[in-house]
Structure 1
Amino acid sequence: MTASGDVRLLVVRLSDSFGDFWPALARDIGAALADWTPAAGEPPASDAGVVLVAAGGREADVAALLPQLSVVAGIPIIVVGAVGSYRLAAQIVAAGAADYFSLPEDRDGLRDSLAAAVQRRQAALGRAALAHLEAQAHAFRDIVGESPVLRAALERAARVVPHRDATILVTGETGTGKELLARALHYGGPRAAAPFVELNCAALPGPLLESELFGHERGAFTDAKTAKPGLFEVAQGGTMFLDEVDSLAPELQGKLLRALDQKAARRLGGTATRQFDVRIVAATNADLAAAVQGGRFREDLFYRLNVVALELPPLRERGDDVILLAEAFLRKFSAQYQLPQPGLTPEVRRALVSHSWPGNVRELRNAIERSVLLSPPGAFELSGLTVMPARSGAASALPFPATLAEIQRAAARAMLAAAGGNRSEAARRLGISRSRLQRLLEGGASPDDTDADPN
């Protein structure tokens, strides 16, 4: 849509026949006018509402041209020629056009068809605008939490939301909500009415991943029975979310960098370069700067992706957010499974706060869902986590270890219990080696005992 709100009529000129007619036609149907000729290169990544192909004497070239107009897919393509032939009209429609008119005899029919197409487009844009406003209002509502570290990250994200072309790199541990933030960036911004397309770069081997990104033509490889558009084409006008971007093979890193720099890509087995208009949001739980230093990730691609860096904090650093999230998940899964919604007991709250949550929000979500399903009727009991006992009585009455060695041994035992008896996990959480954990448990480690290998 144009700045004034008009739907744009894109005239594709194969000939100059009836050239003086198009401006008047655009005014009659209430559309803004733009034009393009194949000699100008690839068709624009247009915001056109209707495409009109002015064939005038070159009707035989239309079928070959229509696939080039895929960048404006989803809107009607109407062909105008000088030959009034039903057979020709049928061939052109079969090739992908919405309709065919011959001039001058079908002038009124052409005008009526274009006017109807413009009205449908205006209605669709109106619905999209309403959806966009609603999405903006609720884009960040699913990100639960009030901790200062989370609010700081979200405030930084909010500043970049209005800028439709800014490339964003979201970092954070597994399960911190990187995809959720990517969706909020999309649906809260100016691209909300266009597609949000996600791709996990670690989920497919290199050749299949390349085909997913860039698409392929028929016969490009053994199983390519039909042509397939790439995700850059599918995401036209919207957002491409590249998760686990650190998993890209070096060769594919180079191809991605070239596509981002040129804002264009070529399908596997194809010769045509297709322009795209897509915002990139990439995500990783790895240290990309370290990967660059280690030669595992291209430095130029790192800088291309890291225009705006957003880091999500781990759940263990978010304080009482764990309680807010647990309550939100408890409401969600109680309603989903049509079960009573009990409250969180003080013991459960203590367990939630004391747990280190190495899997972050994803681990918490799974723990709450599992517990909702396994708890007895009318109660909520955490399943799979160790509930810390409630404190009672005076502090002097507590069984407190007398020496530093006893304190360390008690901490080791408590962490082992919290890790479900997994000694490697308990050692990881304590930041010590497995052998040192073993010595602590057996009482053979002194307070100043250190690890030769902290890993």
Structure 2
Amino acid sequence: MLQHAHAILGISPAMVALRGYLPKIARSLATVLITGETGTGKERVAQAVHDLGPRAHGPFIALNCAALPEGLIESELFGHARGAFTGAHVAVRGHMAQADGGTLFLDEIGEMRPQAQAKLLRAIETREIRPVGGQRGVAVDIRVVAATNQSLEGMVAHGLFRADLYYRLNVARLDLPPLRDRPEDVGVLLSAAIGELNRRDDADVGRPDPELEHCLAAHDWPGNVREVRNLAEALFIDPPRGTIHFADLPPAFARLFAPYRIAVSDERARLVAALTATHWNKAQAAKAMNWSRMTLYRKLAQYHVEHSIEV
């Protein structure tokens, strides 16, 4: 797994705003709900909330609620006493106790069973847990950060998620946009991943050429940030030296991007045509090309397109 010291990367307005808001949320100690599609980096943002706050020196404990067997949810959350059930040969501290003095990150909170939701709510409100089979409660000092790729509001409306727990979690809200809504961030993310892998492997992989840049911008990245990292890792199986060309792509990515291939001259011609049709209104031209404004300006520089150009 690539690591960027939990940096929140991106030049899109959404990511710039997120980076500005994160330190304020981190300092507040409010319960945080992070929403976003799979692969948008919710755990990384949760870690950043922890790292930027006063609990940074405490533990950061992550629990994937979707991976919890129904019969073990309480034990995983609250721990259990010795002899609490068959096979409980020793007492075990649960995730909430392990997070004491730090942050408990509950990933995929929407997958938690209703019975466990009720007990989690009580533990959050009382700051006290009772291990399974235990005789007394144990005080815990934790900050809760939860994440989901589902609409909790819709789940509440359909009775699938407790409204009281939703309102307890939804204090500070961070919504992570999918990568298809911020295509200008693809190059930043790929460049960061390649830079780290170059340092790791002492390699010299460069930037994508214009044709490949077009493919990256045209793809909708359903796997989001994780898919960009996968591309970087795949490139380093047989790393090219210098500029990355379409021919350097591993077969799976070559097949994926093949529909987006066009000659660079064709894209430049389309760009000039869009600018001409909109009387050089860059906002309208960007919309016509299905680009962000940032992508449009990058393409203008890349193709040396100026207002004085003759069509």
TM-score class, shorter-chain normalisation, is: 0.7 to 0.9
The answer to whether the Cα contact below 8 Å between 1:348 and 1:382 also exists between their aligned partners in 2 is no
Question: Once the 2 structures are TM-superposed, how far is the Cα of residue 286 of structure 1 from its aligned partner?
Answer: 0.2
Contact kept? 2:206, 2:241, Cα under 8 Å: no
**1:14-413 equivalences in 2 (<5 Å):** 142-164=7-29, 166-376=30-240, 380=244, 381-383=248-250, 384=253, 385-387=256-258, 388-392=261-265, 395=269
Q: Give the conservation status (yes or no) of the 8 Å contact 1:167–1:280.
A: yes
The SS at the match of 1:199 is: strand
One-letter amino acid of the structure 2 residue matched with residue 389 of structure 1 = I
Q: Please tell me whether the aligned partners of residues 145 and 321 of structure 1 are also in contact (alpha carbons under 8 angstroms).
A: yes
State the SS of the aligned residue for 1:343. Answer: strand
Instruction: Tell me if the contact between 1:368 and 1:382 (Cα under 8 Å) persists in the aligned partners.
Output: no
TM superposition shift of 1:140 = 7.6
What amino acid is aligned across from residue 195 of structure 1 in structure 2?
P
1:142 & 1:158 partners in 2: Cα distance? 13
Residue 217 (structure 1) shift: 0.2
Question: Which residue identity is paired with 1:338?
Answer: D
**Which entry has the higher C-alpha Rg, 1 or 2?**
1
Cα distance, 1:356–1:280 mapped onto 2, change above 3 Å? same
Contact 2:207 2:242 (8 Å CA) reproduced: no
Please state how far the C-alpha of 1:377 moved relative to its aligned partner. 5.1
Q: Measure, in 1, the Cα distance between the counterparts of 2:212 and 2:221.
A: 14
Q: Do the aligned residues in 1 keep the contact of 2:8 with 2:15 (CA within 8 Å)? A: no
State the alpha-carbon separation in 2 of the partners of residues 295 and 163 from structure 1: 31
Could you tell me how far apart the structure 1 residues matched to 2:97 and 2:171 are? Answer: 23
CA contact (8 A) 1:244 1:285 kept: yes
Match of 1:80 in 2: none
Task: Give the length in aligned residue pairs.
Answer: 258
Q: Which amino acid aligns with 1:284?
A: T
Q: Secondary structure at the match of 1:221?
A: coil
Name the aligned partner's letter for residue 156 of structure 1. Answer: Y
Contact 2:82 2:88 (8 Å CA) reproduced: yes
Question: Which ranges of structure 2 fall in alignment gaps of 5 or more residues?
Answer: 271-311
Assess if the C-alpha contact under 8 Å between 2:75 and 2:131 holds in 1.
yes
Rounded to whole Å, the distance in 2 between the matches of 1:189 and 1:354 is: 38
Please, what is the CA RMSD of the aligned residues? 2.0
- Deviation per CA, 1:242-300, whole angstroms, max 9, x where unpaired? 00000101110111011111110100001110011100000000000001111111111
Q: Could you tell me how far apart the structure 1 residues matched to 2:142 and 2:197 are?
A: 35
Is the contact between residue 246 and residue 288 of structure 1 (CA under 8 Å) also seen in structure 2? yes
Greater shift in the superposed pair: 329-338 or 311-320 = 329-338
Distance 2:71 2:16 in 1: 40
State the Cα distance separating 1:340 from its structure 2 match: 2.4
Question: In 2, Cα distance between the equivalents of 1:325 and 1:298?
Answer: 36
Deviates more, 1:167-176 or 1:205-214: 205-214
Residues 282 and 305 of structure 1 are in contact (CA less than 8 Å); yes or no, is this contact kept in structure 2? yes
Counterpart residue identity of residue 157, structure 1: L
Identity, in percent, stands at 46
Secondary structure of the residue aligned to 2:37 is coil
Amino acid at match of 2:14: V
Counterpart secondary structure, 1:171: strand
Q: How far apart in 1 are the matches of 2:239 and 2:211?
A: 15
Cα pair 2:23 2:53 within 8 Å, conserved: no
Larger RCO (CA within 8 A; separation ≥ 6): 2
Aligned to 1:281, what secondary structure does the other structure show?
strand
In the alignment, the residues of structure 1 paired with residue 226 and residue 183 of structure 2 have an alpha-carbon distance, to the nearest angstrom, of 16
- Alpha-carbon distance between aligned partners in 2 of 1:378 and 1:171, rounded to the nearest angstrom: 37
Q: Distance in 2 between matches of 1:378 and 1:343?
A: 7
Structure 1 position 339, deviation (Å): 2.6
Aligned-partner Cα distance in 1 for 2:49–2:165: 21
TM-score (norm 2): 0.78
Which of the pair is proportionally richer in helix?
2
Give the match's secondary structure for 1:271: coil
